[in-house]
Structure 1
Amino acid sequence: MRAILDDRQRAHDPKHFMANGARLANPEQPRRIEVLKAGAEAAGCRFEAPQDHGLGPIAALHSAEYLVFLQTIHERWSRIEGASDEVIPNIHPDRRTASYPRSAVGQAGFHQADTSCPIAAGTWQAAYWSAQSAIEGADLLSSGEQAAYVLSRPPGHHAFADLAGGFCFLNNSGIAAERLLRAGKRPAILDVDVHHGNGTQGIFYERADVLTVSLHADPERFYPFFWGHGAERGEGAGRGCNLNLPLARGTGDDDYLNTLRTAFEHIRAFGTDVLIVALGLDAYEKDPLKGLAVTTPGFNRIGSAIAKLGLPTLLVQEGGYLSDELGQNLTSFLRGFQDA
């Protein structure tokens, strides 16, 4: 399988994030690239670098205001006397229609949903090349490839059109879907990360041209809390084009695969002709962020089940954090996908 990776993604090296009021070491580390790359190569992937497709495909999904913010905020933040090394917001508006401040502190609150998306000197460069990798993968499918794996890091599925969150800055899977849509395809996004893809849902929630489906730990007591519930079906033209399948904490392989069948029914009924899989591996039973209990052999079964849909498929890396088995889980998924 062809695979895409740009080493400039290593430039994002976050040191901290805040959870439960505590400042913690950030688990979204550059070393994830080495572990995931080795796991993909063990499954036979051949990596190549993406071309630079420019800002156009990114701006097709993200607002210009937000892209200016991402490119400039760290430099502006660093001029604040006594400011932290990383941009972490301390105030948020109560609504998206609130006034847009000129202050770096105010804009950080407007464009960062939480304290899990710190921005440092290399964040924009890494996020840009993470997105370019997804665009390259989309173009491979448009040119006739049946499958490709994109090692996108930082991940993307918590990023809205003008809002970072949950380690994510640019919505790589959404950017790929938009690219494929403009190439005449009818894409669906299947998100198998342990966390709901709230940014992806938000971007496409009122649209009927991209189906969004997410299996994830029930958000009643799990990040992102406010999105991902079963009643969220889309609005306006998009009603019925969003499907959330929340799972009880600790759900294992068999129940996960049974739920996946429901996702497949909707993907087929949508008339999907190309599939983007937001490939989170953090549903693993020993992942540091602990939500579900998928095993390493379970990832093989999930990969096999997705492949049997028979659709051209772009696999875009989302979560999956450093554990002894992270690379093995990717190998297991990719082998299951390719063997089917």
Structure 2
Amino acid sequence: MFRIRTVTSDIYPRDKAAIEQVKEILQSHFATVNKEEFDLIPEQLRNPLKYRFTTKLFVAEDHKGLVKGCAYLYYASDLEFCFLDYIATRREVISGGVGGALYERVREEAKKLKSLGLFFECLPDEPSLCTEASLIPENKKRLRFYENYGARPIINTLYETPVSPNDTCPPHLVYDNIGREEHLLGSQLRMIVRAILERKYAELCPKEYVDTVINSIEPGVVMRRDFRYIKKESVATSNELIIPRQKIILVINDKHQIHHVRERGYVESPVRIGRIHKELLKTELFREIPPESYSEDHIKLVHKASLFNYLKKVCKEIAPKESLYPYVFPIRNAEKPPKNRMMAAGYYCIDTFTPITRDAFFAARRAVDCTLTAADKILENHPIAYALIRPPGHHAESAVFGGFCYFNNCAIAAQMLSEYGRVAILDIDYHHGNGQQQIFYSRKEVLTISIHGHPSFAYPYFSGYDDEKGDGDGLGYNINYPLSENIDGILYRKTLEKALKKINAFAPDYLIVALGLDVAKGDPTGTWSLTAQDFYENGALIGKLKLRTLVVQEGGYKTENIGINAKNFFRGMVDGNPDSGKPNTTKKK
């Protein structure tokens, strides 16, 4: 498996490592290209004014950060065209669709930019143009691949003219109209070709050569070579390939039902997910995908191994349909935790109402998988992804669980995303997000903000005060907004607007929203009175940030309206950010 994400700089460790791998891949494929050209990649990403192109680097990588392939794209905003400079896969990658997926991602980007089309060079498949016979089979294979997308060489120009007499295989200029119905005109092509030759090949192409090529382009509709390798009618599906990337990615915990505590009063029940899902299905805002499996190392980067191992082992010892509630809370001695696993529950838990069951570990483990799957889609540049999961996670700290929470899904996702950029967590659950606060309290690369009921009356009671601002490097990067017992939507939004200003000032690359629906009127665990309209307004305010946003389900226990409130929240997010959540409107041929 692999994901495709955009690398925008070499600031963060994962991006820097990816760029180094990209350079290795390109050098292995293009040995005749001066190595210094690939060394310019970081500067080209940072300085579009100097190079007169906005540079976009896409990498296909696995979850361990191994880059399997890359695509290097230029966009000229003044002329509205895209030029694909390089696309290559690691030499040992023989199959798996990496190259095709990268090219489709590039096409999506060109379409998103409202480009006149996608241009690139491809070595010719004709002996009259390429005298190196050994190159012809590979050139044919490459041009056949691009024909599947309707991309073919432009004809009736002198673009294939060698710059020097020693050039034995001058490239075609290939044009992919990315499904546009409008024809490309010669007047447009003249400006595009001049930009390619003068901006990319300024040191290679003298003025006389550039003028010769430009003057060979006739007015009128630009012509492309006829199809040679595939039937024209088979291109239709490829021109519809623009995946509805703007839809909200939805990942549901497919194993949440196994954690079902049937004791009276236990409100964290499976019906919550079903009610939300039912309402979301009434919209066209979502594209549901299955969760993938992730290494437990992601959890252990946030939670102590002792907590992880304890939950994993003790859950196996619980009889089916039984629940173990902590009832002995020893003063925590890091050197001497209780040896009896049943008695140790209170050592690892912060309350008396979060049970250990046979399947609690497995359900919580799967919730992490779902959250990381959604986070990966954010890395792939999807605007919004929603992990609809239970059990929740925002009360779980590095070494303890509680509040129905076993592993802190938001914190685990933030840890992963922080390797690629700055992260802000906005917790809008009724209860304080003590887990994120404790985990990131001394760190500055993750901003943690929580809007919640004041700890004088609201769980978890021991944290969430406004003077808890972080420590050491994290001082100023933890913000709490404890609110009074009776709050309506108008008062709530005044605080939300303050929080969003803090997020804007932090300028994160990624936003994680811990979505608590327990701020709703009538929720059995809260005291506030927000309505469906309030959830819409809150979502719209968050959407206006236009940040890549991972939404993770936390609380919300009034099942009569939980789905309606969730639906309205996401409708607000989409209306607040017009670039997200819209269904695909590409016309079918």
Which band: TM-score by shorter chain? over 0.9
8 Å CA contact retained: 2:275, 2:559: no
2:569 aligned to which of 324, 327, 333: 333
Say yes or no: does 1:154 pair with 2:395: no
Instruction: List per-residue Cα deviations over 1:97-138 (Å, max 9, x = no partner).
Output: 462121113321111111221111111111011111110111
Say yes or no: does 1:144 pair with 2:381: yes
Q: Which residue of 1 aligns with 2:361?
A: 124
For residues 96 and 145 of structure 1, the distance between their equivalents in structure 2, rounded to whole angstroms, comes to 45
Which stretch of structure 1 is more off in the superposition, 186-195 or 284-293?
A: 284-293
Q: Which residue of 1 aligns with 2:533?
A: 297
2:267 aligned to which of 24, 27, 30: 27
Instruction: List per-residue Cα deviations over 1:53-93 (Å, max 9, x = no partner).
Output: 121211111111111111111333559xxxx9212111113
Superposed, 1:75-154 pairs within 5 Å as 75-78=316-319, 85-95=322-332, 97=334, 99-154=336-391
The amino acid that maps onto 1:56 is: D
2:512 aligned to which of 276, 283, 307: 276
The amino acid that maps onto 1:329 is: N
Which stretch of structure 1 is more off in the superposition, 304-313 or 39-48?
A: 39-48
For residues 559 and 316 of structure 2, the distance between their equivalents in structure 1, rounded to whole angstroms, comes to 33
8 Å CA contact retained: 1:161, 1:199: yes
For residues 6 and 283 of structure 1, the distance between their equivalents in structure 2, rounded to whole angstroms, comes to 23
8 Å CA contact retained: 1:147, 1:313: yes
Q: Which residue of 2 aligns with 1:21?
A: none
Q: Which residue of 2 aligns with 1:245?
A: 481
Which stretch of structure 1 is more off in the superposition, 38-47 or 186-195?
A: 38-47
Instruction: List per-residue Cα deviations over 1:221-253 (Å, max 9, x = no partner).
Output: 111111001111011111111000011112111
Which stretch of structure 1 is more off in the superposition, 44-53 or 220-229?
A: 44-53
- Name the structure, 1 or 2, with higher relative contact order (CA <8 Å, separation 6+): 1
Q: Which residue of 2 aligns with 1:10?
A: 257
Instruction: List per-residue Cα deviations over 1:229-286 (Å, max 9, x = no partner).
Output: 1111011111111000011112111111110111112112222111000000000011
Per the normalisation by structure 1, the TM-score is 0.93
Q: Which residue of 1 aligns with 2:276?
A: 36
8 Å CA contact retained: 2:532, 2:565: yes
Secondary structure in 1 aligned to 2:255? helix
For residues 289 and 312 of structure 2, the distance between their equivalents in structure 1, rounded to whole angstroms, comes to 26
Secondary structure in 2 aligned to 1:104? coil
The amino acid that maps onto 2:485 is: R
For residues 465 and 431 of structure 2, the distance between their equivalents in structure 1, rounded to whole angstroms, comes to 12
8 Å CA contact retained: 1:3, 1:46: yes
Secondary structure in 2 aligned to 1:105? coil
Alpha-carbon distance, 1:45 to partner: 1.8
For residues 435 and 527 of structure 2, the distance between their equivalents in structure 1, rounded to whole angstroms, comes to 19
Say yes or no: does 1:214 pair with 2:450: yes
Please tell me the root mean square deviation across aligned C-alpha atoms, in Å: 1.6
Secondary structure in 2 aligned to 1:339? helix
2:313 aligned to which of 50, 55, 72: 72
Q: Which residue of 2 aligns with 1:58?
A: 299
8 Å CA contact retained: 1:281, 1:318: yes
8 Å CA contact retained: 1:14, 1:119: no
Q: For structure 1, which runs of at least 5 residues remain unmatched after alignment?
A: 17-23
For residues 96 and 228 of structure 1, the distance between their equivalents in structure 2, rounded to whole angstroms, comes to 25
Alpha-carbon distance, 1:291 to partner: 2.2
Secondary structure in 2 aligned to 1:223? coil
Alpha-carbon distance, 1:39 to partner: 2.5
For residues 536 and 427 of structure 2, the distance between their equivalents in structure 1, rounded to whole angstroms, comes to 16
Q: Which residue of 1 aligns with 2:436?
A: 200
For residues 251 and 334 of structure 1, the distance between their equivalents in structure 2, rounded to whole angstroms, comes to 22
8 Å CA contact retained: 2:532, 2:568: yes
Superposed, 1:221-236 pairs within 5 Å as 221-236=457-472
Say yes or no: does 1:313 pair with 2:549: yes
8 Å CA contact retained: 2:271, 2:559: no
Which stretch of structure 1 is more off in the superposition, 274-283 or 113-122?
A: 113-122
The amino acid that maps onto 1:151 is: L
Percent identity between the two aligned chains: 37
8 Å CA contact retained: 1:14, 1:29: yes
For residues 138 and 186 of structure 1, the distance between their equivalents in structure 2, rounded to whole angstroms, comes to 14
Per the normalisation by structure 2, the TM-score is 0.54
8 Å CA contact retained: 2:424, 2:512: yes
Secondary structure in 2 aligned to 1:278? strand
Secondary structure in 2 aligned to 1:214? strand
Alpha-carbon distance, 1:96 to partner: 5.9
The amino acid that maps onto 1:138 is: A
Alpha-carbon distance, 1:46 to partner: 2.3
For residues 94 and 271 of structure 1, the distance between their equivalents in structure 2, rounded to whole angstroms, comes to 41
Q: Which residue of 1 aligns with 2:103?
A: none
8 Å CA contact retained: 1:77, 1:104: no
For residues 61 and 253 of structure 1, the distance between their equivalents in structure 2, rounded to whole angstroms, comes to 34
For residues 6 and 221 of structure 1, the distance between their equivalents in structure 2, rounded to whole angstroms, comes to 32
The amino acid that maps onto 2:519 is: A
Secondary structure in 1 aligned to 2:450? strand
The amino acid that maps onto 2:556 is: G
Q: For structure 2, which runs of at least 5 residues remain unmatched after alignment?
A: 1-247, 577-589
8 Å CA contact retained: 1:88, 1:108: yes
The amino acid that maps onto 1:10 is: Q
For residues 11 and 252 of structure 1, the distance between their equivalents in structure 2, rounded to whole angstroms, comes to 36
Alpha-carbon distance, 1:160 to partner: 0.6
8 Å CA contact retained: 1:282, 1:319: yes
The amino acid that maps onto 2:261 is: P
